Amino acid sequence: MKDLNAYRKSYEKSELLENSISSNAMELFHLWFQEAENSDTIEEVNAMTVATIGLDGFPKSRVVLLKQYSEAGFVFYTNYNSEKGKAIENNPNVCLSFFWHSLERQIIIKGIAAKVKPEISDAYFASRPKGSQLGAVVSNQSEIIASRAILEQKLTNFEIEFINKQISRPESWGGYIVKALEIEFWQGRPNRLHDRIRFKANDNFGWKMERLSP
């Protein structure tokens, strides 16, 4: 067994205090996202973990890219027939999380996922590079395949088929929007006494702020 007990890091870069932050969770998310964008130590600020409950009853997490956010929710794209797509169809309760290590910050979002309107998925699909469009057509995401060579041959065939042709979005591919019910902001602090501020959505389209023990 490899012993990792000696791994230690003291988090001392910032603090998260109620009297210095917005009472609106989305305003605080936007501020933190901008600060992460402006950092030269984070390569993909929009990389986030999506956790779902699979058809087998087990939770599963994977990293995807956030493509849009607003008061309405957080948008990402995937194959609807993928493992995560089937999980969301069966149970739309999901968790999103961001970890910006160099800023010693996490954001954890509990919410409900729903498909975006087809025209929104169409518009985003049309904005993707042609190679990414072809990738969405070629891959039956999460399905078992015999070899990578099969994928590459399918890609070659479709590259020939769609020379000088527009590629339509597959019906099985599109976006989800996650409506946040809770958003927790985590700021690392010394002695493992981290700051944790949780916002809960209320019926008045506002947020209830709570401090959690680390």
In a domain, 44, yes or no: yes
pLDDT at 90: 98
In a domain, 185, yes or no: yes
pLDDT at 139: 86
pTM of the model: 0.93
What are the CA-CA distances from residue 90 to residues 15, 115, 123, 201, 203 (Å)?
Answer: 39, 13, 26, 24, 26
Distance CA 80, CA 57 (A): 19
pLDDT at 142: 86
What length does the chain have?
214
In a domain, 22, yes or no: yes
In a domain, 153, yes or no: no
Range 128-150 average pLDDT? 91
In a domain, 144, yes or no: no
Q: Over the stretch 48-64, which tens digit does the pLDDT of each residue have?
A: 999 999 999 999 999 99
Most confident of 156-160, 163-167, 181-185: 181-185
Least confident stretch, 40-49, 72-81, 155-164: 155-164
Q: Over the stretch 90-135, which tens digit does the pLDDT of each residue have?
A: 999 999 999 999 999 999 999 999 999 999 999 999 999 999 999 9
Number of domains in the chain: 1
Catalytic residue among 105, 192, 196, 198: 192
pLDDT at 204: 79
The domain that holds 37 is classified in CATH as 2.30.110.10
Distance CA 190, CA 169 (A): 49
Q: For the chain, what is the mean pLDDT?
A: 95
pLDDT at 164: 87
- pLDDT beyond 90 at 143: no
Four-point Cα dihedral 46, 177, 109, 40, nearest 10: 10
Residues 6+ apart with CB under 8 A from 158: 134, 137, 138
Q: Over the stretch 9-32, which tens digit does the pLDDT of each residue have?
A: 899 999 999 999 999 999 999 999
For the question of residue 192 being annotated catalytic, the response is yes
In a domain, 154, yes or no: no
pLDDT at 21: 96
Unique residue bearing structure tokens 């409506």: 179
Q: Which residue segment(s) compose the domain that 103 sits in?
A: 18-128+171-212
pLDDT at 158: 86
Which of the two residues, 163 and 87, has the higher pLDDT score? 87
In a domain, 133, yes or no: no
In a domain, 161, yes or no: no
- pLDDT beyond 90 at 140: no
Q: Over the stretch 185-212, which tens digit does the pLDDT of each residue have?
A: 999 999 999 999 999 999 877 999 999 9
